[in-house]
Amino acid sequence: LHFLAYLILVFLLWFAVSPDQKVVWRKAVVWWVFIVLTGYGAVDELLQGFTGRNCDVMDIVANIAGAFTGLILLSVLTFWPAALLVTGAVIFGITNITRANLAELVPVTNAMFHLFAYPIFSMLWICYMHLFLSLKPPKAKWLIAAIAGPTVLLLTVKLFSVILGKGFGLREVIISVVGIAATITLIYLVALFHKTQEPRHKTQD
């Protein structure tokens, strides 16, 4: 969880600093971002000693590793494609890799995670399909491609859940599918509405 949390944090901080540019290691802003997150992670862990929890050096290492991994990704990819990759990795990691089981600890949080995580991935997927597919809504091929991305992720995550002995989680799948379907349907309907408005605008012109 620490690794994934700081992987997300570095993206949020970079979005606030310079989302339109890749990470360039020779620029001071990159190292300031890294120092801020490293310092925050260390202080956060040290303060746990005052709340009855133990300070774990490995958690600090995980924080640093997450932040550094995020910066490496942002040096290779632009912000939004990297965000798509990280979102998929976070969904996979929280579902299958983390020691904490959200379904057992906080069922409501687990449901909310699946309800929002997959729609976020779906929106990012749809935004960047045009990088490798010349498809636009509301064409049927676009709809198939839009559904394919999050569906493949969901099936992959659940396949590994079964392999790792965590179970299929039918309730989680249903919640995820509802979120994916609602997101894609909304985007499709908006695109369809704009499509129907085009002839009117042309006529007025």
> Do the beta carbons of residue 118 and residue 101 sit within 8 Å?
no
Phi, psi of 48 (to 5 degrees): -65, -25
Q: Which residues contact 129 (CB under 8 A, 6 or more apart)?
A: 135, 142, 145, 146, 149
Domain-wise residue ranges, the chain: 1-76, 78-205
Which token pair is 116? 């929002």
User: Which residue type is seen at 177?
Assistant: V
The 10s digit of each residue's pLDDT in 56-107 is: 778 888 888 999 999 999 999 888 888 888 899 888 888 887 655 555 555 5
The 10s digit of each residue's pLDDT in 13-65 is: 888 888 788 899 998 989 999 999 999 888 887 777 666 667 777 888 888 89
- 197 pLDDT more than 80: no
- pLDDT for 99: 57
- Whether the pTM exceeds 0.85: the reply is no
Phi, psi of 31 (to 5 degrees): -75, -30
The 10s digit of each residue's pLDDT in 123-141 is: 989 888 877 777 776 678 8
Give one DSSP letter per residue of 10-47, joined into a string: HHHHHHHH-TTS---TTSHHHHHHHHHHHHHHHHHHHH
The 10s digit of each residue's pLDDT in 134-175 is: 777 667 888 899 999 999 999 999 999 889 888 888 888 999
Q: Which residues contact 147 (CB under 8 A, 6 or more apart)?
A: 180, 184
